[in-house]
Amino acid sequence: VFAGIAQAPEDPILGVTVAFNKDPSPVKVNLGVGAYRTEEGKPLVLNVVRCAEQMLINDPSRYKEYLPITGLAEFNKLSAKLIFGADSPAIQENRVVTVQCLSGTGSLRVGGEFLAKHYHEHTIYIPTPTWGNHPKIFTLAGLTARTYRYYDPATRGLDFNGLVEDLSSAPLGSIVLLHACAHNPTGVDPTVDQWEKIRQLMRSKSLLPFFDSAYQGFASGSLDKDAQPVRMFVADGGELLMAQSYAKNMGLYGERVGALSIVCGSADVAVRVESQLKLVIRPMYSRTPGDWSHIIKQIGMFTFTGLNSEQVAFMRQEYHIYMTSDGRISMAGLNMKNLPHLADAIHAAVTK
Ligand code: PMP
């Protein structure tokens, strides 16, 4: 049935490496891929990463259990702290929701899908040029990608007037993708003064900032300084989205470590936003939701499963399993024969 499928074109960036690998020349040089290399051109693993790996290997308490849908809570907390600052008012006011995602790409995609589902404007403005994956990620997420002027080939610098003109004429409420620092592919960033003007313009037109931070630490050498534009937008109390990648600044290209944060208007909104982010993530790459370690931790004759009355009713109707509507089960009713049936029923109830 797939015999008629056409050959897809090579990815423009990864395709450079494919061509490089095929070249037998001893003087070949690969300047395509954005990854640290040693003087010998070999992959480089940062010392701090090697140390962390050793600590993990030597820690016998580590396990491979499922994480919650939103990922590792401690990682999310530290990720938000790294970009917004330890003293960020938004963090202190519990207005920040952070979910672990599959590197920068996954964070952008989850953010894009969330906006397509829950935000009234579906147009996202991306700079020209930008990282080649941006238009594809957002289009597939259900948004419409338009461009704003960014680079001026004549000066090989920022086309600030063009940028201001284009954002000024964007419809109210449009989403704007901003590279937090070390713009890819140009290496041209606005100055702090220009960022301040961009911020004022965007807030005056209710344009929603979607920051992409793939290079925190690369622009100035200081993590805090590179986060300054983002923190200016957080300091004004407004909302924004933030996609973080640790592929480049930690050299963790293949491990797909990243996070999406949404800075909300209030703690109450943040709770609801998080609940909706879970619904975006779950059918994309998640598994049976929730942490079930309480089943082992709880003592006595009963387990308070956390299943709600609707799930309890579903399990009774579909699986003929009977328990009180508050989700309490008597452990004494379980045996090796009926346990798999119960597990199937719980799985069906919580993923329904
Ligand atoms: N955004 C930009 C601007 C990038 O350059 C990159 C890395 N090429 C990413 C996001 C995310 O990459 P990854 O999914 O590998 O974290």
Please write the tens of the pLDDT for every residue from 32-88.
878 888 888 889 999 999 999 999 999 998 888 778 889 999 999 999 999 999 999
Cβ of 131 below 6 Å from ligand 1: yes
Closest ligand 1 atom, CA of 247?
A: 16
pLDDT of residue 289: 64
Residue with tokens 């900032």: 209
Closest ligand 1 atom, CA of 13?
A: 8
Structure token digits, residue 283: 């059918």
Q: Which of 114, 91, 116 is nearest to 278 (CA)?
A: 114
Ordered alpha helix ranges (H), the chain: 14-22, 47-57, 73-84, 89-92, 103-118, 133-141, 160-168, 192-204, 223-226, 228-235, 267-285, 294-297, 309-319, 339-351
- The domain 294-351 is placed in CATH, from the list 3.40.50.2300, 3.40.50.620, 3.30.300.30, 3.90.1150.10, at 3.90.1150.10
Cβ of 261 below 6 Å from ligand 1: no
pLDDT of residue 4: 96
The CA-to-CA distance between both ends of the chain, in Å, stands at 31
Tell me which long-range contacts 289-292 makes (C-beta under 8 A, separation of at least 24). 289/68, 289/69, 289/350, 289/351, 290/68, 290/69, 290/350, 291/66, 291/68
Does the active-site annotation cover 248?
A: yes
Residue with tokens 């079930």: 292
Q: Would the pLDDT of 290 be above 70? A: no
Closest ligand 1 atom, CA of 243?
A: 10
Cβ of 79 below 6 Å from ligand 1: no
* DSSP track, 130-155: --THHHHHHHHHT-EEEEEE-EETTT
Residue type, 299: I
**pLDDT band per the 50, 70, 90 thresholds, residue 11:** confident
Find the catalytic residue in 131, 166, 189, 226: 131
Strands of 240-245's sheet in order across: 96-102, 257-263, 240-245, 208-213, 175-179, 123-128, 144-149
Instruction: Give the Cα separation of 314 and 286 in Å (integer).
Output: 22
- Reported ipTM: the value is 0.98
* d(CA 258, ligand 1 centre) in Å: 10
Closest CA to ligand 1's atom 11: 104
* d(CA 342, ligand 1 centre) in Å: 42
Q: Determine how β-strand 328-330 pairs with β-strand 302-304.
A: antiparallel
Cβ of 111 below 6 Å from ligand 1: no
pLDDT tens-digit series, residues 110-146:
999 999 999 999 999 999 999 999 999 999 999 999 9
Chain-centre distance for alpha carbon 345: 31
Q: Do domains 73-285 and 294-351 have the same CATH topology?
A: no
pLDDT of residue 278: 92
CATH architecture entry for 73-285: 3-Layer(aba) Sandwich (3.40)
Collapsing DSSP to helix, strand or coil, 240 comes out as strand
Cβ of 244 below 6 Å from ligand 1: no
Domain boundaries, the chain: 73-285, 294-351
Question: Residue range 274-288: average pLDDT?
Answer: 88
Does the active-site annotation cover 131?
A: yes
Instruction: Give the Cα separation of 207 and 209 in Å (integer).
Output: 6
DSSP 67: P
Q: Are the CB atoms for 145 and 177 separated by under 8 Å?
A: no
pLDDT of residue 49: 96
Q: Are the CB atoms for 232 and 201 separated by under 8 Å?
A: no
Instruction: Give the Cα separation of 233 and 239 in Å (integer).
Output: 8
Question: Residue range 149-172: average pLDDT?
Answer: 97
Among 60-69, 106-115, 259-268, 305-314, the least confident range = 60-69
Strand partners of residue 343: none
Average confidence score pLDDT of the chain:
94
**pLDDT band per the 50, 70, 90 thresholds, residue 297:** confident
Q: Are the CB atoms for 171 and 163 separated by under 8 Å?
A: no
Does the active-site annotation cover 326?
A: no
